[in-house]
Amino acid sequence: MMQAAVVVSALSLLLCVDGSKTKNSSRSESDRTREEEPRRPHLIFILIDDQGYNDIGYHNPRIQTPTLDRLASEGVRLESYYVQPICTPSRSQLLTGRYQIHTGLQHSIIRPQQPNCLPPQMDTLPQRLQTLGYDTHLVGKWHLGFCRKSCLPTRKGFDTFFGSLTGSVDYYSYGSCDGPGVCGYDLHENEGVAWNHEGRYSTAMFTQRARKILQNHETRGRPLFLMLSLQAVHTPLVSPKSYIYPYRSMTNLSRRRLAAMVSTVDEAVRNVTYALRKHGLYKNSVIIYSTDNGAQPFTGGSNWPLRGRKGTYWEGGIRGVGFVHSPLLKRRRRVSKDLIHITDWFPTLVRLAGGDPDQSPGLDGFDVWQTISEGKASPRTEILHNIDPLHKSYKPSAPRDVPRSGPGSGSKPVKLKRPAFKKTQKKKKILRQKPQQKSAFKVKKKHKNFPKRPLKNQRRETNRARSRVQRKTESKRFSVQRKTESKRSGVQRKTESKRFRVQRKTESKRFSVQRKTESKRSGVQRKTESKRFRVQRKTESKQKFKWKHQNTTLPTSRPGPGSWSGPDPPSPTCRPGPGTWSGPDPPSPTSRPGPGTWSGPDPPSPTSRPGPGSWSGPDPPSPGALWDTSVQAAIRVGDWKLLTGDPGHGDWVPPQILPSLPGRWWNLERSVSFSQAAERGRVWLFDISADPLERHDLSDQRPEIVQVLLQRLVHYNWSAVPVRFPPDDPRANPRRRRGAWEPWIQDQDPENGAEEEEEQKKKKKRKRGKCHLCKLNAFFHKLNSRMMENKI
């Protein structure tokens, strides 16, 4: 019996071991299948505002950014990374993957009072990631329009939103102004106003919200897209005092404050990366750090040694600070000098998320993940920085001079002078005592038998009585003077207000007349330009036959100025896709030219410099005949960069030299700055690989390169969308809606919009006919709303 029990127990143990092995094998197979499935990475995009090339530690050791330096050194530093010169175009190209000529945002930024936003028909990066199963969150600055609710971030693909809608917000009070007197509260959560957050520094509050999102996402098991768009280091220059102390040796106050704000950004990035590691998301994440434009030297920023500043198309305004940090990178700890643009993030991140970028038609960006991760050549060989037809350069004149019909028309500018009211000098009336004047006060004679007082007491009494009388008379005179002055000031105010109203009406009429005339003349100019293009096409087609039968081989030497050295330039009607070429011998899209080389129709090498007269063919057309060089435009093809029109303030500004902020931020971003060298029809050409500081203009020495790049501008201009830059809408004033910036235009269907408006008009007419106290009701309604706004 004992032997049988031992045998049974042994068999049971063997069966248990076999069962556990089968279970473990089944679990391991399921785990292997899960591991073999492609895990989509978490995407963390950190966007900084107005950080310049010299405002980070690995470019300037005086700026203390240990976290950013460590992440950049362990990842891939992007040293040929380009953005747009101002906020709205960079953010629009990041989220849409298209150039701003294809979104209608070619001119300036979207101001808070403008009824403008992203085009509704274009899909955005968060919308594509939502369809791929991502949780999308935006924390921080939006600045892409909010006139309608359909323009808000939650309607453009983000699941949640916490931040500001306008371009510049106070870091503690969250007040935003669009000019003097037009201010409102700007802190929103999803589609409502987030009140009662005053007193907290915005950078710290936004990082805290980002950490909460990472903490709550730990248990969801879905991929994450978090866009942390910090307001720093945009004006106003405000930071906690503890961050200013390490930069106490800086003499420039604005530079010191901006350096402290950069340190707050460094601490914010450290907290975000710590949260990623704490919640187990770091190993499967991609961290992208980028600035939206160059720095503003007038507010403490620095782009040294690059040329230009924010708002310009020099390298200081468009070459951005950026790096990629991720454990998923195959080649880390290196510096990439491959050409990358901010539009490339759309297809790159969509491909990383497992999607197909080709499903979004009209993309101008390229998938550059292999360039960043593996070090392969960049598929991008061209960058269209911008074509702004509303910004035309003309000779510097008075600040209020406005041309009647645009540049090139030859008409004299109209001087718009603001009303200058002379203050009426009020004559001050001074009361002076006349020493010889007899006083009307007489001392009564006292009784003879009454004992006389001494002379001193009598004099004191007379002096006191005289002073009393004088005080009474002076008080009467002062009261009369005050009444007369108050009456005069009231009359003057009324007359001045009337004058202001009359002058405003006259100015508005003048502006409306000028706009009509400009629109008419612009239409005429467009017709004339179209005729010119047609004539040019005919002449080019005729010249093609001549150039084919002549010697089309390039000379070994370099032609002189004004001569043509290449084959037939591409026609402006062709429309090749991104990375392709419309002339002879197009390069492959993946091929990238090296330094000093060219991806088009083989121009001469930059080192060869023959004398003039080496080319026997016809001379190329002048730049003005091919392209209106007064239009502000900038393009980069290979290593060559071309600028036309007025590219902006083009000085090399060393750090810590300029004084503090000269004016408000809206004056700096709205004003049209004309450089001293900007003339009508001026063209600049630079070889960026050999001259990254843009000190040597080669437009006169290399006219053949200028012609080819102008042809590329003509090619891009054919696909451009009309500029959308509407005037300010007075209905957007925050005083009309609880003192906060909110959408002010109701979303209506285009089919039912006209019918609803007619019905509303009919209802208003009926109410006006029935109501007898409408004026009183309207008056008390306005009074109540104003009292609520002023918290009375």
> Which of the residues 42, 59, 102, 143 is marked catalytic?
143
* Burial of 509 (C-beta count, 10 Å sphere; 0-12/13-18/19+): exposed
Query: What pLDDT score does 393 carry?
Result: 64
pLDDT band at residue 682, thresholds of 50, 70 and 90? confident
**Which position has the higher pLDDT, 58 or 495?**
58
Give me the mean pLDDT over the 277-298 stretch: 95
Instruction: Give, in order, the Cα–Cα distances in Å from 411 to each of 397, 631, 681.
Output: 14, 18, 17
Please say if the pLDDT value at position 342 is more than 80.
yes
Query: What pLDDT score does 444 carry?
Result: 46
Question: Average pLDDT over the chain, rounded to whole?
Answer: 77
Query: What pLDDT score does 3 carry?
Result: 55
Tell me which of 219-223, 283-287, 697-701 is least confident: 219-223
DSSP-derived pairing of the beta strands 683-687 and 175-177: unpaired
pLDDT exceeding 70 applies to what percent of the chain?
68
153-174 confidence digits (pLDDT tens): 999 999 999 999 999 999 999 9
Instruction: Give, in order, the Cα–Cα distances in Å from 55 to each of 179, 191, 354, 546.
Output: 28, 34, 35, 55
SS3 636: strand
Give me the mean pLDDT over the 83-110 stretch: 96
Give me the mean pLDDT over the 753-763 stretch: 56
Query: What pLDDT score does 82 carry?
Result: 98
pLDDT band at residue 458, thresholds of 50, 70 and 90? low
Query: What pLDDT score does 394 carry?
Result: 54
| DSSP per position, 280-322 | T-STTEEEEEEESS---GGGT---TTSS--TTSSSHHHHBPPE
Q: Is the dihedral of CA 8, 9, 13, 19 positive or negative?
A: positive
Q: What is the model's pTM?
A: 0.66
Query: What pLDDT score does 776 carry?
Result: 75
Give me the mean pLDDT over the 475-494 stretch: 80
Query: What pLDDT score does 600 carry?
Result: 43
- Is 143 in the active site? yes
Give me the mean pLDDT over the 217-225 stretch: 86
Query: What pLDDT score does 492 carry?
Result: 79
Cα 239 → chain centroid: 21
Q: Find all residues with CB under 8 Å of 295, minimum gap 6, and list them.
A: 50, 51, 52, 53, 54, 55, 301, 302, 303, 309, 310, 316
Q: Find all residues with CB under 8 Å of 337, minimum gap 6, and list them.
A: 79, 80
Give me the mean pLDDT over the 670-694 stretch: 70
Query: What pLDDT score does 172 carry?
Result: 96
Please say if the pLDDT value at position 423 is more than 90.
no
Give me the mean pLDDT over the 95-103 stretch: 96
Query: What pLDDT score does 524 carry?
Result: 78
- C-alpha atoms less than 13 angstroms from C-alpha of 490 in its C-beta half-sphere: 6
DSSP-derived pairing of the beta strands 183-185 and 224-229: unpaired
Beta bridge partners of 478: none
Tell me which of 47-56, 178-187, 615-624 is least confident: 615-624
714-740 confidence digits (pLDDT tens): 999 999 999 999 999 999 999 998 899
Query: What pLDDT score does 529 carry?
Result: 72
Tell me which of 31-45, 245-259, 578-592, 620-634 is least confident: 578-592
Size of the chain, expressed as the number of residues it contains: 792
Residue 194 — left, alpha, or beta (φ > 0 → left; ψ -120 to 50 → alpha)? Answer: beta
118-132 confidence digits (pLDDT tens): 999 999 999 999 999
Please say if the pLDDT value at position 536 is more than 70.
yes
**Which position has the higher pLDDT, 692 or 617?**
692
Query: What pLDDT score does 525 carry?
Result: 75
* Burial of 701 (C-beta count, 10 Å sphere; 0-12/13-18/19+): middle
Query: What pLDDT score does 333 carry?
Result: 95
Measured CA to CA, the distance from residue 352 to residue 686 in angstroms comes to 35
**Which position has the higher pLDDT, 595 or 116?**
116
Tell me which of 218-227, 383-392, 455-464 is least confident: 455-464
Query: What pLDDT score does 576 carry?
Result: 40
- Is 771 in the active site? no
Measured CA to CA, the distance from residue 83 to residue 58 in angstroms comes to 19
Give me the mean pLDDT over the 581-586 stretch: 41
Query: What pLDDT score does 224 carry?
Result: 96
| In the block, residue with structure tokens 């000028």 | 514
Query: What pLDDT score does 281 carry?
Result: 94
> Which of the residues 42, 59, 87, 137 is marked catalytic?
87
| In the block, residue with structure tokens 């990358």 | 340
Instruction: Give, in order, the Cα–Cα distances in Å from 499 to each of 109, 284, 495, 506.
Output: 33, 67, 6, 11
- CB 595 within 8 Å of CB 645: no
